[in-house]
Structure formats: structure tokens, C-alpha cells
Amino acid sequence: MPGGYNCSCPDGMDGDGRKSGSGCTAHPKKQSAVMEEVALVDENRLKQFINEIVILSQINHRNVVKLFGCCLDAEFPLLIYEFISGGNLAERIHEKNKDLLFSWNIRLKIATEIASAVAYLHSAASIPIYYRDIKSSSILLDEKYTAKVSDFGISRLVENDKTHLTTSVQGTFGYFDPEYFQSYQFTEKSDVFSFGVVLLELLTVEKTISSSRSSEDRCLVTYFASSVREDHFFKILDPQIKQEGKTEELQAVANLAMRCLNTSGRERPTMMEVASELERLRRSDEPSVVPDNGQEVEIFINETLSL
């Protein structure tokens, strides 16, 4: 525990690791929990702590991590989440250990579940929510590879009549929507762009920013665009999924990623449309029908490389 002391709490409870024994918290039956400590001296972290409680109290979705409660009696406030045993998606797709990688069908399942969760935030939550920091390290996986979206510290509730948030740029480099970066206006389509980057990670197992690539291709989005332009997209796919996935299916997911990464937010699909398309691909026993998207690819490449 955070304080480094084994305090004596009653059976079925855990303490905060300090001699005071304050903050002892009951275990939910047959479930595990994990605590996140927040330093009071960091005002921004405290605001995120409060914001996360407010946001997660509005959410009930199987692919969003559950907040069991919080502890304010300890020296530092604590958030208490369900414990997700499988680590995060970034660890699974970027670690060099090949034993950590998983099949194309599991990757498609994970993508579908993430999209479903974000579509719920945008369209089905009691108050619409912009996630604002979709990235592979915020996606937790349980022992059955079920995706759990976590880390809502900079997420925001959005009034129904609002189309965007005007705010200073926050998020993670490599996942930023270029329109948001330029205008400081975050829309639901900004989340769509970030999700498109996660799709590329699942397809290629490449990092979003990598110094091992050329300076022109250091960003995964531009690397993907140039590979399409030079007609070697399949060369940058993870070899494992090239062996396992149907060519038509891989093309369809790549095409969906391109639509999500369109530099014009208006031209991107909604997360509901993304989730629906991924679910169709996942459930369909028939080869996916992929339209001729040559013009779309060309427009995407030209716009992306001009960033």
C-alpha cells in the first residue's frame, strides 16, 4: 500500500498503509479493487480526481472501468476501481515479448468494445461525455481480453445543445486531433480521430511516435499515410494478423481508420457509426465488401502529409 506499512484492518478490509490505519476499505464481494492515490499538493490532479468521480458516476457500461468509491479519510484521497488483471493495451501491443501479442480476432473484438464504450459516452450516457484522451495505455484488459476504458481525469460532460468545448489543448501527443490542436475546439469527432490512431496501433503494433522511423514518418499517422501512398500498406501490418486476418477484413478496418483520421472533422464518421461497422465486421461470416476508396486514400494522404 502507498504508506509502506502493514496496518491492522478488520478482515475483509484494506488500509492505506499508514500507522494510523485510516482509510480502511471493505472488499466488494468476489471482486478485487485497485486504488489510485492523488496528491493534494497538485491542484490539477485534485481537479481531475473530482472530475473523474463526477464523470464515472454518470456511466454504466460493461467496457468502462467501474468506480467502487473513494476514500477521503486518508492523508491523500483515493479512488477505488475494479481491478483489471491483464494490464493495458499499449503494453500488450508494444512489448517485444511475442507471447503478449494476441490474435486478429481478439484485436477486432477489443477495437469493437472500445468503440462501443466511446459511442455510449457520446450518445447514450445521461449527459454526453467527451473522453478527450483516447490512447492505448488507457485501455485496460481483463483475463478474457475484455476492454475497459479508464482514466477519465480530463473528460468533460457536455450540454446537449453544445457542439464543442473550447479549452486549452490537453491529451497525449500522437493522438491529437489536428483541428483541435489548431482551433482549441474539441468536438466528439476529436475522439474519433484519436480512436483512429488506436486502430493503427492494433493493425501495425507500431508506436504512435517513434524515433526509429525516418523523420518524415516519425508520427504513426503520417507513416501509415506514406505507406498507402507508396502502395506498401500491407508491408507495415503486423505479420501475425496478415497470416490470420482476411485480406478484405484488414482492408476494411484500414479504410475505417482512414475515415477516422480525416483532417476534416465533419468528414469523419461518428463513434456510433464506427462501432456499428466494427461490429458488422466482427459478426459477419461473409467477406466484407470494401468499396473502391482510391480517391479517398489519395485525399487522406495529401491532407495528412500537409500537417
> What positions carry a catalytic annotation?
133
- The grid coordinates listed for 119 are 459511442
d(Cα 46, Cα 134) in Å, to the nearest integer?
A: 21
Asked whether 171 and 181 are in contact (CB, 8 A), the reply is no
* CA–CA separation, 71 and 74 (whole Å): 7
Q: How far apart are CA 280 and CA 291, in angstroms?
A: 15
169: number of Cβ within 10 Å:
13
Copy the grid coordinates of residue 272: 456510433
Quick count: other Cβ atoms within 10 Å of Cβ 270? 15
Task: Report residue 67: phi and psi, to 5°.
Answer: -95, 115
Cell of 15: 488500509
